[in-house]
Structure 1
């Protein structure tokens, strides 16, 4: 029988461990982790994400602050705020909610964040540490790290002998996901839109990770029987049968078909999504620990 991977339950376990570590920290008279979230503009989805992150940070016992800036904020003003947060000793993690309104340069803004406060794990220094196999002193991108937690829950931390296929090669997810799988000793194939005979490549995968942004692209006959399927896609599709203007969320995998073939599979929603915020909390605690170590050294 196929196992549905419950991302909500795993995320709750991660945040519970973070909250307990913070409780121990503060009980010893030390300050809690400080997380600053910066949001620019009035995009409703972005504000919903930021609100969820703020609530979780407070549940974990963090010192949490939010900077809400108008859509017309200049890049210089945003960079000045980041400079202030970089220098603030009470702030361990800085997160700038993406996407930023045009014409702001997201990459320039992200690279302005101090690497040791880059809790999104997107700075080139953290990307470089991951690429060279340093999972200890750097901060990992939250969504790939969360997906790895789900994979580990099925296969353990050592993936020796397993073949993993990642569909998608973005800097935000695909590339770091491939590097995390490789670090866990999996044999990794990176597939993408230019890959020849993609369905055949996928049927080789013991672990199939899909992040392409195309609703239900991966069909049941792409999935190796018994494989673990991690669906990172979030797509909204129309459901006229529910009434005019109605829609629902689906992943990049045709769940209804794949669920009968896979050994384990993440649903959408409720799979990888909840893990992103959970790993943000874990990263913020890690940033607090790493910065303290650097300070005393």
Structure 2
């Protein structure tokens, strides 16, 4: 079975649009998202355009601030301070990656936690770790859980989930979300011994390592649910053109697993939808 991220994201956006309408009617608040883009990275510009389009489609206010690649860290922090203090701004997102002369961790820490719709601030990470309400959770991990439930149902209790990758953006937060769903969770990484055997134990396998077609068919238990977070650009051996692939050998693993997310069209669309979900939550909680 192919887990259709585009369809799941479309369904989530319908629910978000309804939530936006309800918030407008009940409190007179229109959720507002401001995206800050530093430099002219082509991929980042595409992401920002997609985010802006979908933000307005669900009835939110979309704002964009573009700064030159020569922008200093102090100038960026000053811009974030203004947004932090603007009550009409409910969500702030700084598009990553940033130019090398800017410290991403300093920038992330400068965003007020209640406006941190990426969910990367240490305060939100701590709330997630403690299972507290009010945490804004990183978008891609949220999307992974929603897609897993699309195939397995809402109750993931007792499932053994293996997460390959331990990043602060995906690996660690998705492991915490899986724990909240009462899964047994194993986090595997570059130093894990016998990685293939570890993966073979998984009822839910989440690949987030950034290595093209890394996960092979003999790593996957028959019937497992595979969530592929990877986005890698490689050359097609037949056409010679560049193409996008995940961290999983999709063609081979599809013959073994019970369900799998494609790349593109899997986790990616869910990431933006969950960003909108976080913006709505921020407006409801703190607007």
Place the TM-score, normalised by the shorter chain, in its bin. Answer: over 0.9
The separation in 1 between residues aligned to 2:245 and 2:184, in whole angstroms, is 28
Structure 2, unaligned runs of 5 or more: none
Q: Please state how far the C-alpha of 1:156 moved relative to its aligned partner.
A: 2.7
Q: Could you say what the CA RMSD is over the residues aligned between the two structures, in angstroms? A: 1.0
- Match of residue 198 from structure 1: 195
What are the Cα deviations for residues 182-216 of structure 1, in whole angstroms up to 9, with x where unaligned? 11000000001100100000000000000011111
* Runs of 4+, deviation exceeding 3 Å: none
Alignment size in residue pairs = 287
The separation in 2 between residues aligned to 1:93 and 1:272, in whole angstroms, is 22
- Match of residue 52 from structure 1: 50
Higher mean displacement: 174-183 or 24-33: 24-33
- Match of residue 25 from structure 1: 23
1:242 counterpart SS class = coil
Q: Please state how far the C-alpha of 1:160 moved relative to its aligned partner.
A: 1.5
Aligned counterpart for 1:109 among listed residues 107, 110, 113: 107
Confirm or deny that 1:172 pairs with 2:169.
yes
Structure 2 length normalisation: TM-score?
Answer: 0.98
- Match of residue 89 from structure 1: 87
- Could you tell me whether the CA contact under 8 Å between 1:240 and 1:247 is conserved in 2? no
Aligned counterpart for 1:265 among listed residues 257, 260, 263: 260
The separation in 2 between residues aligned to 1:241 and 1:166, in whole angstroms, is 32
Q: Please state how far the C-alpha of 1:23 moved relative to its aligned partner.
A: 1.8
Q: Please state how far the C-alpha of 1:154 moved relative to its aligned partner.
A: 1.9
1:277 counterpart SS class = helix
Confirm or deny that 1:15 pairs with 2:13.
yes
The separation in 2 between residues aligned to 1:198 and 1:132, in whole angstroms, is 29
Confirm or deny that 1:161 pairs with 2:158.
yes
Q: Please state how far the C-alpha of 1:247 moved relative to its aligned partner.
A: 1.2
The separation in 1 between residues aligned to 2:100 and 2:83, in whole angstroms, is 23
1:213 counterpart SS class = coil
- Could you tell me whether the CA contact under 8 Å between 2:23 and 2:284 is conserved in 1? no
Structure 1, unaligned runs of 5 or more: 293-297
Structure 1 length normalisation: TM-score?
Answer: 0.95
